[in-house]
Amino acid sequence: MIKGRSAEALQTLARLHAGGDVDDPIVQGEFAAITTQLDQEASVDQAWSVIFKDWVNIRKVMFGIILQFATQMTGVSAIQYYAA
């Protein structure tokens, strides 16, 4: 649906939920929910620069980097990969 293939998405939902019936209320409800969610997501600024505009976001990214670094330095990854 993100790429503008709404009719194909509706057909797929119908096959999954209602045996191909596109007029089924469950299919129509699911299609409406997906459409609404995509519209909401399209209205939000999703650029990489958003990470660096707010101190809270910078802290979250730094915690992730520190946690990944600490995990690699403990050697846990090698144990997970090669453990029997």
Taking each helix axis as running N to C, give the angle between helix 25-42 and helix 6-18, from 0 to 180 degrees, rounded to the nearest 10: 140
3-state secondary structure 46-67: CCHHHHHCCHHHHHHHHHHHHH
Q: Are 32 and 24 within 8 A, CB to CB? A: no
Instruction: Read off the pLDDT of each residue in 18-47 and give the average, rounded to a whole number.
Output: 91
First to last CA, the chain: 43
Given pLDDT bands bounded at 50, 70 and 90, which one contains residue 50?
confident
pLDDT at 45: 74
Q: Enter the pTM of the model.
A: 0.57
